[in-house]
Amino acid sequence: MRVAIYRRVSTEMQKEEGFSLEAQKMRLEAFALSQGWTIVDDYCDDGYSAKNLERPHIQRMIKDMKKKKFDVILVYRLDRFVRTVTDLHKLLQLMDRYDVKFKSSTEAFDTTTATGRMFITLVATIAQWERETIAERVYEAMLKRSETGKRNGAPAPYGYDLEDGKLILNYDEAKWVKFIFAQYLTHGSQNIAKKLNSRGITTKKGEIWSDFSVRYTLKNPIYSGYVRWNYESVSGGHRKKTGEEVIVKLEQEDFEPIITKKKWDEIQQIIDDRYNMAFRSQNHYPFSSIGKCAKCGKSIIGNKKVRSNGFEHRFYKCQGRFRFGICDAPVIPELSIEKAFLEILDININQLVNEIDVEQNQETDIDRNKLNKQLEKILCKKERTKEIYTDGDMTKAEYRKKMNQLTIEENELRGLLEEQEQHASTEDIKQILSSIKEEWKELSYESKKHAIHLLFKYITIEIVEPSKPNKLAVVKISDYSFK
């Protein structure tokens, strides 16, 4: 039997005895040897959580499963493999489709029978319930701490160090915090990030500054002696603002604020004013975000300038250069990118379509049915919660918390369903590619953007020859991937 072993540790568990990658490997190799199995590949996700399947080596394993490279998947324990029932169902369906068995070296699971599959699902369901129960208790404890002005164990923000649970001023970093707040009175966050990077100043994690990290610093009330709670929630691996942020004074007697609360409030007002006054362009840039710079891998973003003669010059800027200051890629005219894009469409369209994994459409149908069922359950739970609250069996605070949680889950599911709807069939893709090629000049910018973003995950753009006076840049599409 050909066996693929899968190992995983999250960053929090790497030092736990018995869960190290090397310890898992030794157990799995010994188990495979005892069964007379041949290990054909070792899939190892180092420092990844099992909260979803967005892990590089489990994705590689799924691809190899479809190529029938192994007969059995062997893991040290089920929770090294998956942690949610949804992901388990998805993987079990794939294993069933490609006739691959699953085995844990420490647990008695048999996925070859209906009873065995039911048992492994039951175990995963109970484990997920336990994790969610613990998470709810932790949330309540953190809420109580925040209401009394205590921090909840987060790492020290830039400008401070953490000593014995207290925030101690880091004078070297504090001067740059003051610099950020002072500069924002007359400069934007991108400009501030460039200045910090040009001076060799890094973030707390040793990374380069970006407009996001500058804004995050500006919006953090800790610098004025206050802490915030419920600022963001994490759902499906994405951070979202809750809209219910609570700010209270930090309870630490010897804490040294870097700026005054009045100054922090003034900066927040400036941030809000700039956001509200910002020009929201109604133009559509077909290659924005989906286009990637070949030099640094960052996205390119569209912009335009209108010359005195009324001519509209549309171009794209590499975010690695203009946002992070780590790249030297020049501005690229939109016409240059269009020319290179249409050239790849001159390749036989059938050849392009054949690069798409047709099986994705089959899996999409399965996933869509699952998502619809999950959405129905969430909506039923919301109705039931309303009934319980109306009957007086739930406090207002409990009702709001429960409804907020269910609404977040509902929005996540609706977002996933929208993504599923965007997957086009092979025939649709042929028609769209043909239409793009034949009618490109007649299409609106909005239609161009919709078509490109419907079909492609990314398009990597390489500059062969930069623009010169009276001569457009020459670029080529060096890589691309369909959705």
Per-residue pLDDT tens digits for 335-391: 999 999 988 877 656 666 665 544 445 455 556 778 778 888 888 888 878 777 666
pLDDT higher than threshold 60 for residue 232: no
Q: pTM, whole model, 2 decimals?
A: 0.38
pLDDT band at 234 (very low <50, low <70, confident <90, very high): very low
Instruction: Return mean pLDDT, the chain.
Output: 79
In this model, does residue 36 exceed pLDDT 90?
Answer: yes
pLDDT-wise least confident of 59-68, 144-153, 247-256, 453-462: 144-153
- As given in the structure block, the two tokens for residue 170 are 């880091």
pLDDT on residue 98: 92
Least confident span in 43-47, 67-71, 366-370: 366-370
Q: State yes or no: pLDDT of 25 exceeds 50.
A: yes
Of 174, 234, 291, 223, the C-alpha closest to 52 is: 234
Backbone angles phi and psi of 164, in degrees to 5: 55, 40
Q: Residue for token digits 């929201």?
A: 280
Q: What is the DSSP string of 122-135?
A: HHHHHHHHHHHHHH
What residues does CATH 3.40.50.1390 cover in the chain? 2-131
One-character DSSP codes across 346-399: TS-HHHHHTTS-THHHHHHHHHHHHHHHHHHHHHHHHHHHHHHHHTT-S-HHHH
Query: What confidence score (pLDDT) does residue 353 get?
Result: 61
pLDDT band at 434 (very low <50, low <70, confident <90, very high): confident
Question: In the prediction, which pLDDT does 427 show?
Answer: 60
**Between 481 and 17, residue with greater pLDDT:** 481
Residue 5, pLDDT > 80, answer yes
Dihedral angle computed from the Cα positions of residues 273, 276, 282 and 284, in that order, rounded to the nearest 10 degrees: 70
Say which residue the tokens 């400008």 belong to.
159
Residues of the chain within CATH 3.90.1750.20 domain(s) are 148-277
Angle between helices 211-218 and 261-277 (to 10 degrees): 130
Fold of 148-277: Hect, E3 ligase catalytic domain fold (3.90.1750)
Catalytic residues, which ones?
10
- Tell me: pLDDT of 83 over 50: yes
- Range of lowest pLDDT (52-61, 232-241, 260-269, 275-284): 232-241
| Selection from 255, 212, 211, 249 nearest residue 232 by Cα | 212
How far apart (Å, rounded) are the C-alpha atoms in residues 209 and 202?
Answer: 6
Query: CA 148, CA 421: separation in Å to the nearest integer?
Result: 46
Q: pLDDT tens-digit profile of 309-330?
A: 778 889 999 988 888 888 899 9
pLDDT at site 384: 79
Is residue 44 very low, low, confident or very high in pLDDT (cuts 50, 70, 90)? very high
Q: What is the pLDDT of residues 435-476, one digit of tens each?
A: 677 778 777 787 788 778 877 889 999 999 999 888 999 999
What's the CATH fold of domain 2-131?
Rossmann fold (3.40.50)
Which residue, chain included where needed, has tokens 């001076």? 199
